[in-house]
Amino acid sequence: MMRLNNGIEMPALGFGVFQITDLAICEQTVLTALKTGYRLIDTAATYGNEAAVGRAIKRSGIDRKTLFISSKVWIQDAGYDKTMASFEKTLTNLQTDYLDLYLIHMPYGDYHGSWLAMEELYEAGKIKAIGVCNFEANRLVDLILSHHIIPAVNQIEMHPFWQEKALRSVMAHYDIQTMAWAPFAEGQQQLFTNPTLTAIGAKYHKTAAQVVLRWLQQSEIIPIPKSIHAERIVQNFATTDFTLSDPDLVQIEALDQNKPLILNISDVNEVYRLHEITFKQ
Ligand code: NAP
């Protein structure tokens, strides 16, 4: 478990459900993840699958108090009133009366208004911790200086090819927990057969995927890998029974290309593209 800056404990490894758009598959996949032992499930309003996650949680019969459910408010719902309404829909979809973690999904639109709503929901006990995603250092510090609650989490693209060292040093100053989205870079640049990662893995009878997840956990970063395949869901969870050596960690650090592969948040074309994404919650 990781302790957040507000004292709340959060599992050190989670399961993400981005791009699992078939709701029956999503429900079954989350059920498999819960049965495997994952207790942190990461969804978002814009993924369109919160209700399937909620059904899986219910079907699992697992005590809600032992789960850690995270969701996110999208750009179309930025601002105080719309965030309040979106949050209520998220709770209904997930069949729960509180969230463990609620995140601003993108640093666009009236996210300061969203943050005011989230601070209020947090203080009312309806959210255990609040945070952001994809905030670069300047926006993160601006948010902190403008409000009274420091984000507990920043969920960012992070994998061996983009290690976010400069941002993470700012986050460390405020004790903000990193959650790594796309820990496998969504398979880009042949991560699963990368020679460095597979050679390190061979020493421990582990795959490249398992090496990446272990590296993140040893770096006190919470990865949320996604898979729809049961054997991979199990494989990705089996990442706490070995320890990478210091030379292994140095080799993985050397894979950093120091730029994002999936989302360049400061690219104006991304602002246009992301603003265009709307959905019915
Ligand atoms: P990812 O976890 O890096 O990669 C998922 C891909 O890897 C899928 O194609 C999956 O294939 C494959 N895979 C998983 N385990 C594997 C294994 N052991 N061996 C070989 N292939 C494997 O990418 P992601 O889904 O984009 O990121 C993870 C989570 O982060 C998301 O689900 C979401 O919760 C979150 N996220 C957040 C943001 C944000 O803006 N906050 C953005 C993106 C993602 P199969 O499914 O076919 O097995």
Question: Has 47 been annotated as catalytic?
Answer: yes
pTM equals 0.98
Going from the Cα of 73 to the center of ligand 1, the distance in angstroms, rounded, reads 20
What average pLDDT does the segment 39-45 reach? 98
Going from the Cα of 120 to the center of ligand 1, the distance in angstroms, rounded, reads 32
**pLDDT, the chain, mean:** 98
CA distance 79 to 117: 8
* pLDDT value of position 228: 98
- ∠ CA 169-178-141 to the nearest 5 degrees? 55
Going from the Cα of 149 to the center of ligand 1, the distance in angstroms, rounded, reads 30
Instruction: Measure Cα distances from 131 to 18, 48, 111, 253 in Å.
Output: 18, 20, 11, 26
Going from the Cα of 116 to the center of ligand 1, the distance in angstroms, rounded, reads 31
Q: Which of 15, 69, 108, 227 to mutate to test the pocket of ligand 1 (most atoms within 8 A of CB)?
A: 227
* pLDDT value of position 212: 98
Ligand 1 — pocket residues by CB below 6 A? 16-18, 42, 105, 133-134, 155, 181-187, 192, 209, 224-229, 232, 235-236
* pLDDT value of position 216: 98
Atom index in ligand 1 nearest the CA of residue 228 equals 46
How do residues 87-119 score in pLDDT, each as one tens digit?
A: 999 999 999 999 999 999 999 999 999 999 999
Q: Which of 13, 17, 18, 36 to mutate to test the pocket of ligand 1 (most atoms within 8 A of CB)?
A: 18
CA distance 276 to 272: 6
Ligand 1, atom 6, residue with closest C-alpha:
186
Q: What is the DSSP string of the chain?
A: -EE-TTS-EE-SSEEE-TT---HHHHHHHHHHHHHHT--EEE--GGGT-HHHHHHHHHHHT--GGG-EEEEEE-GGG-SHHHHHHHHHHHHHHHT-S-EEEEEE-SS-SSHHHHHHHHHHHHHTTSEEEEEEES--HHHHHHHHHHSSS--SEEEEE-BTTB--HHHHHHHHHTTPEEEEESTTGGGGGGGGG-HHHHHHHHHHT--HHHHHHHHHHHTT-EE----S-HHHHHHHH--SS----HHHHHHHHTT--SS-SS--TT-HHHHHHHHH-----
Ligand 1, atom 37, residue with closest C-alpha:
181
* pLDDT value of position 32: 98
Residue 156 is part of which domain span?
Answer: 2-275
* pLDDT value of position 131: 99
What average pLDDT does the segment 141-159 reach? 98
pLDDT band at 29 (very low <50, low <70, confident <90, very high): very high
* CATH code of residue 259: 3.20.20.100
pLDDT band at 151 (very low <50, low <70, confident <90, very high): very high
Atom index in ligand 1 nearest the CA of residue 134 equals 40
How many domains is the chain partitioned into structurally?
Answer: 1
Going from the Cα of 123 to the center of ligand 1, the distance in angstroms, rounded, reads 32
User: Who contacts 29 (Cβ-Cβ below 8 Å, separation ≥6)?
Assistant: 17, 20, 56, 227, 228, 233
How do residues 168-189 score in pLDDT, each as one tens digit?
A: 999 999 999 999 999 999 999 9
- Find, among 169, 88, 63, 77, the residue nearest to 114 by Cα: 77
Does any domain span residue 280? no
Active-site entry in 47, 102, 111, 122: 47
pLDDT band at 203 (very low <50, low <70, confident <90, very high): very high
* pLDDT value of position 30: 98
Does any domain span residue 16? yes
pLDDT band at 42 (very low <50, low <70, confident <90, very high): very high
